[in-house]
A and B are shown apart, each in its own frame.
Chain A
């Protein structure tokens, strides 16, 4: 198993922390992980992204050009990363604020309206956990138990009372994600 993921959106959407929770979950599941935040000129303009790699074997480059999965949370990131997904890979996006929807036909495309759902849940902070839930539904590479362990590890102790809310958000994400386009497995 080797999953190469880019998570991209606006700063403040919880892009980096979502990546961190995913990476910690991988550690809990005894995987090799790397978490590499956008550390280049692309940071300008308020966008943030992070490359997360989970693997059964030693990870080579933490910086990539092609990804198995792109989790895209704003239009700029859609423009930038839609083309970077490997054929047969996965694009998961939130439709909120997206003016040009994905156009590729050689990848799997799924949509999760997490922003909308978060406001329904009355907690905008759960946005990134809804997205994470949707991702895990599509790519169940780490178990829910390990995700909760990872979450515990990356949240400071004073925020541990928020764990149940985050769990609900992850579950909600698994429920509301929908497929937009599917390619047959190659």
Chain B
């Protein structure tokens, strides 16, 4: 199964209520697969092609406000258009899932894989102080599994969650084990689970208002503090990562998603050459595994952050390392993908020899 198809299938299986999207390469298969599978006839899931990414994300805002599990998917230029909606969703504290199958930018760019939307995804993206929960799958299996995980986290924190991937994982086929079907929440369950949602004002409660506007600055500062406390809690409780060959590592690669797959091979090649390399793969990009990288910084001689970008995650790695050891960036850009051998060479040149 292709990564993009896995997302569609997993969405139906984990009881998603609605999908709103707009076609863009390299992720159109997600909506195409949903339309072929016709989940409205089985689970009752709504699938709608919107007139734009702006409309998609606002349909998500509508559905999410009703307490429903709703999602959209797009690729970089489309996700840029969604930033307005995302900051409103974060400001109104609405859970939803957005998948960004990243392509090379800036501008219209290429349709080939890239990781150049890291800043946009992990630092908010739209206006205001907010964060999305960001998950970075590195296999087709994780593409499937993270749909449900993203919804779980989104509802736990009442915050939008993003699955940040790229055309490489989206277009790739691997073996996937699908989870069994879970029923969608009933409207009664939603009233219990999400008492804040707009289900129709019953006599038993005050009216629910989904909003992010507050004209009193002092009240709005208080609200902002609450949001920040939520993000700090995520940093305490939700950091996810994976390590390869880190126990005796003298050199560390840090890479996520597709780049982490390439770097696994690089670690094997380096070890074959007698260089003790390891890999730390952040699975959550927000919250970022700052503490774990800081710990490994005390052990290794140097760190190479490997991304399909000009160097974005490297800034978070440097903040974590805080000057303890040398940190450099390596990565191809604009849709070019580095090979495992190029990463080996970069580590030798920039860290070991540099």
Residues of A within 8 A of B (CB): 20, 23, 27, 32-37, 39-41, 59-66
Contact = CB atoms under 8 A, between A and B. Distances in A.
Given A39-B113, A39-B167, A63 B262 contact: yes
B253 to A, nearest CB: 12
B337 interface: yes
Contacts of A66: 341
Contact of B174 (A33, A39, A40, A41): A33
B112 A35 contact: no
B153 interface: no
A27 B1 CA distance: 11
Nearest to B170: A39
B172 interface: yes
Contacts of A61: 261-266, 339-340
Given A41-B112, A41-B335, A65 B340 contact: yes
Contacts of A59: 174
Contact of B335 (A20, A40, A60): A40
A35 B175 contact: no
A34 B174 contact: yes
Contacts of B268: 60
Contact of B265 (A27, A32, A41, A60): A60
Q: Nearest 10 pairs between A and B by C-beta?
A: A60-B264, A35-B173, A65-B339, A61-B265, A60-B265, A61-B262, A36-B172, A39-B171, A61-B261, A34-B174
Contacts of B340: 60-61, 64-65
B335 A34 contact: no
Contacts of A34: 172-174
Nearest to A26: B175
Contact of A20 (B112, B113, B171, B173): B173
Interface of B: 26, 110, 112-113, 167-168, 171-175, 258, 261-266, 268, 335-337, 339-342
Contacts of B335: 40-41
Contacts of B266: 61
B58 to A, nearest CB: 31
B337 A60 contact: no
Nearest to A36: B172
B174 A63 contact: no
Nearest to A24: B173
A63 B339 contact: yes
Given A34-B173, A63-B339, A39 B264 contact: no
B289 to A, nearest CB: 20
Pick from A40, A59, A61 the residue with the most CB of B within 10 Å.
A61
Contacts of A20: 173
A23 to B, nearest CB: 6
17 contacts: A33-B174, A36-B173, A39-B112, A39-B113, A40-B112, A40-B335, A40-B336, A41-B110, A41-B336, A60-B261, A60-B264, A61-B340, A63-B168, A63-B339, A64-B339, A64-B340, A65-B339
Contacts of A23: 173
Contacts of B342: 65
A62 B172 CA distance: 8
B75 to A, nearest CB: 13
A39 B26 contact: yes
B341 A35 contact: no
B112 A62 contact: no
A62 B168 contact: yes
A1 to B, nearest CB: 16
A39 B340 CA distance: 17
Given A60-B268, A65-B339, A65-B341, A35 B261 contact: no
A39 B1 CA distance: 16
Contacts of A64: 265, 339-340
Nearest to B140: A34
A27 B113 CA distance: 26
A100 B281 CA distance: 44
A80 to B, nearest CB: 14
A36 B264 contact: no
A62 B261 contact: yes
A158 to B, nearest CB: 15
Contacts of A33: 173-175
